[in-house]
């Protein structure tokens, strides 16, 4: 990233003022305007797929082109299509009931844009986690400022160039810069701020936003568990967990963070999981399907987790013998304990602890005594057990007999709970997050409410009390 393209903290005030002024001049964009914005966004993504794949690969050192297509470009395009298809219904004012005591009158809720929305984008999915919230913000009629991660400079530069082609800066602005710029960005008086990233940084973002009473949506992470039931075929569970854990080399906020397996099935699961991973990725060296760890700092963090776990008695089982640059071998960890960092912090990489359990209630108790996760995965075909898991756990989202794919469902809200985040977006929920649902009470010439105006004590007021206060 060249220095002349980076923003300084002072630049952000100018960008923000320009967007605030532009919004004041057009505070309620039409449906046609919003669809036109989304169509332009779709067209620029479709036309520049090879460049986007190349930029993301450059930032990672090695990023599977198919993973970029499947996990970034495809859901972005689907999200745009879904929003365009449903936008008219979302924008339509909703009629609400007026109680008999307040007639004649009517009530409705109208959905207004908030104004200027800030979006802080992480490095792990730098395209989708920029475009996904951008879709909701534009569909709701807002102006948007995107702060891209300094860890993905090539993607940030390219996305800035592409969005500049279709949007003026007072409509959509892409901000590039370091940590200091990111801190200044979070301090701007946005009408809404969405942050995706770690729980640690999420606290700092929320603290900065609080100075302006800026409402926030925090998409964080945490330790998302996968439960293997006592009866599910191990090959089924192992393959689907392997897909979710290996995608983007585990650098996914909803990746399975650890697996709870019945004690008597641990050995069988390990064998099935090893077979599944090695079938999906026959080797690491020069394998275009296997993504690298984003940078040396993240790789060192993961290596520290492994060293700490080994030192405290864990059995580390690499599933590949070789490594190449930052293509870190996938490892299973057995005999883990709660004092290990790998069991305390979100892993965000290709390390998978296996935690034995006795019965299902023991597994659920293990989950429920820990911070609420962003995702929970259960593998088992017994419908009663599925309902038991759903009713006795809390998490941002759930997949039954799959991983990750709930995030790609446009008609499902996405968001965390507690330490894994607050608020949600995607689809209709995204439109609502970035809108003000304004209640409107409407009267015309006749005013029956005069009956309850002072002075009090009249006979008809006593009748009204007798009729309506009971």
223, 382 Cβ separation under 8 angstroms: no
Residue 387: count of CB within 10 angstroms of its CB:
11
Give the separation between CA 445 and CA 429, rounded to whole angstroms. 37
Candidate list 67, 72, 219, 346, residue with the active-site label: 219
Chain Cα centroid distance, residue 291: 21
Candidate list 253, 331, 385, 399, residue with the active-site label: 253
Give the separation between CA 255 and CA 368, rounded to whole angstroms. 18
343, 322 Cβ separation under 8 angstroms: no
The position carrying tokens 């299509």 is 81
180 is catalytic: no
Give the separation between CA 176 and CA 149, rounded to whole angstroms. 7
What Rg value do the Cα atoms of the chain yield, rounded?
25
Give the separation between CA 225 and CA 231, rounded to whole angstroms. 18
Give the tokens for residue 141.
């009629």
Give the separation between CA 401 and CA 411, rounded to whole angstroms. 19
Sequence-distant (6+) residues with CB within 8 A of 179 are 150
The position carrying tokens 């009713």 is 391
Give the separation between CA 197 and CA 178, rounded to whole angstroms. 15
Q: Could you check whether the bond before residue 455 is cis, i.e. omega within 30 degrees of 0? A: yes
The position carrying tokens 């220095």 is 3
Give the tokens for residue 334.
């057995």
- Please tell me the chain's helix, strand, coil percentages from 3-state DSSP, rounded to the nearest 5: 50, 15, 35
245, 226 Cβ separation under 8 angstroms: no
C-alpha distance across the termini of the chain, in Å? 69
219 is catalytic: yes
DSSP 3-state assignment of 107?
strand
Kindly list the catalytic residues.
219, 253
């Amino acid at each position: 990233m060249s220095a002349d393209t980076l923003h300084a903290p002072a630049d952000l005030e100018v960008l923000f003022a320009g967007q605030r002024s532009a919004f004041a001049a057009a505070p309620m964009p039409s449906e046609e305007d919003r669809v036109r914005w989304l169509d332009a966004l779709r067209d620029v993504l479709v036309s520049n797929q090879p460049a986007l794949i190349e930029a993301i690969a450059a930032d990672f050192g090695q990023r599977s082109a198919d993973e970029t297509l499947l996990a970034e470009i495809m859901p972005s395009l689907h999200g745009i299509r879904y929003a365009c298809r449903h936008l008219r219904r979302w924008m339509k004012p909703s009629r609400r009931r007026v109680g008999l005591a307040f007639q004649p009158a009517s009530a409705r809720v109208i959905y207004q844009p908030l104004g200027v929305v800030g979006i802080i984008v992480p490095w792990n999915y730098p395209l989708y986690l920029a475009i996904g919230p951008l879709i909701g913000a534009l569909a709701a009629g807002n102006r948007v400022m995107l702060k891209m991660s300094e860890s993905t400079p090539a993607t940030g530069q390219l996305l800035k160039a592409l969005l500049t082609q279709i949007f003026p800066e007072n409509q959509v602005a892409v901000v590039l810069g370091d940590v200091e710029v990111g801190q200044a960005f979070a301090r701007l008086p946005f009408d809404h701020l969405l942050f995706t990233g770690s729980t640690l940084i999420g606290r700092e973002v929320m603290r900065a936003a609080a100075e302006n009473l800026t409402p926030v949506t925090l998409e964080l992470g945490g330790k998302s568990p996968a439960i293997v039931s006592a009866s599910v075929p191990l090959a089924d569970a192992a393959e689907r967990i392997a897909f979710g854990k290996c995608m983007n080399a585990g650098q996914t906020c909803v990746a399975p963070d650890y697996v709870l397996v019945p004690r008597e099935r641990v050995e069988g699961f390990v064998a099935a999981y090893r077979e599944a991973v090695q079938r999906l990725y026959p080797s690491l060296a020069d394998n275009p399907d296997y993504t690298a760890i984003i940078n040396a700092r993240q790789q060192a963090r993961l290596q520290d987790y492994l060293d700490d776990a080994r030192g405290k008695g864990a059995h580390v089982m690499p599933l590949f013998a070789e490594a190449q640059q930052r293509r870190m071998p996938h490892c299973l960890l057995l005999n883990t304990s709660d004092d290990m960092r790998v069991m305390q912090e979100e892993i965000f990489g290709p390390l998978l602890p296996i935690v034995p359990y006795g019965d299902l209630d023991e597994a659920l108790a293990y989950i429920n005594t820990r911070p609420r996760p962003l995702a929970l995965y259960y593998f088992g075909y017994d419908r009663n057990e599925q309902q038991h898991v759903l009713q006795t756990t809390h998490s941002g989202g759930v997949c039954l007999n799959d991983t990750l794919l709930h995030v790609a469902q446009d008609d499902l809200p996405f968001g965390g709970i507690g330490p894994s985040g607050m608020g949600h977006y995607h689809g209709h929920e995204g439109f609502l997050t970035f809108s003000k649902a304004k209640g409107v009470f409407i009267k015309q010439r006749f005013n029956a409410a005069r009956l309850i105006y002072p002075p009090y004590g009249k006979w008809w007021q006593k009748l009204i009390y007798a009729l309506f206060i009971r």
